[in-house]
């Protein structure tokens, strides 16, 4: 496989995987492109490479910046904005895990806590509902606490964890 074909395949595949970690295909493709770029890229370069509109590129770059995995850069003598991506996979994994927790798990926990604390009558259905949602809340809270602990390690936590699992 030639370099350009491999590059395109990587960007397409990363785009398809994006939905698995909570972002859309274009957002993931922009991230993939920036991750493998040796230089910072302008929005025009991103648009041309991915064949997307300015609005689509701009909206998705803003979202990636909000996630904390893409950064705005400047070049001396240039008025354009340029962009780069976090290339350290450990930092990237931690950032994504924290963002997913903030955006998905924490809101789910709030709802589970609210619905599991309903006042129940003697109804079997109500008691079952309260018990099941309380158990689910407890489980998700434990999982989120584990995720918080794991992401507190700043240096090579993912690599160390994988090595431990393999041994």
Angle at 136 between CA 130 and CA 138, to 5 degrees: 100
31-63 exposure pattern, b = at least 16 Cβ within 10 A, e = fewer: bbbbbebeebbbbebbbebbebeeebbeebbeb
pLDDT band at 157 (very low <50, low <70, confident <90, very high): low
Other Cβ atoms less than 10 A from the Cβ of 147: the count is 16
- pLDDT of 159 > 70? The answer is no
* pLDDT digits 0-9 by tens, 30-72: 999 999 999 999 999 999 999 999 999 999 999 999 999 999 9
pLDDT of residue 94: 85
Query: What is the distance between the alpha carbons of residues 131 and 46, in angstroms, rounded to a whole number?
Result: 51
Q: Which of 93, 84, 96, 95 is nearest to 33 (CA)?
A: 84
- The residue ranking higher by pLDDT, 98 or 153, is 98
pLDDT of residue 163: 59
pLDDT of residue 95: 86
What percent of the chain lies above the pLDDT cut of 90? 52
> Is the pTM of the predicted complex or chain greater than 0.85?
no
């Amino acid at each position: 496989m030639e370099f350009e074909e491999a590059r395109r395949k990587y960007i397409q595949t990363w785009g398809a995987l994006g939905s698995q970690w909570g972002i859309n295909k274009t957002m993931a493709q922009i991230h993939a492109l920036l991750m493998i770029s040796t230089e910072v890229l302008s929005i025009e370069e991103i648009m041309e490479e991915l064949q997307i509109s300015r609005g689509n590129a701009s909206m998705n770059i803003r979202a990636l910046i909000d996630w904390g995995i893409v950064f705005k850069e400047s070049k001396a003598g240039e008025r354009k904005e340029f962009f780069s991506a976090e290339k350290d996979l450990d930092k990237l994994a931690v950032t994504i895990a924290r963002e997913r927790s903030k955006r998905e798990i924490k809101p789910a926990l709030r709802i589970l806590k609210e619905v599991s604390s309903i006042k129940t009558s003697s109804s079997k259905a109500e008691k079952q509902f309260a018990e099941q949602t309380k158990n689910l809340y407890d489980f998700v809270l434990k999982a989120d606490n584990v995720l918080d602990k794991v992401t507190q390690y700043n240096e090579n936590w993912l690599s160390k964890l994988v090595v431990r699992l393999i041994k």
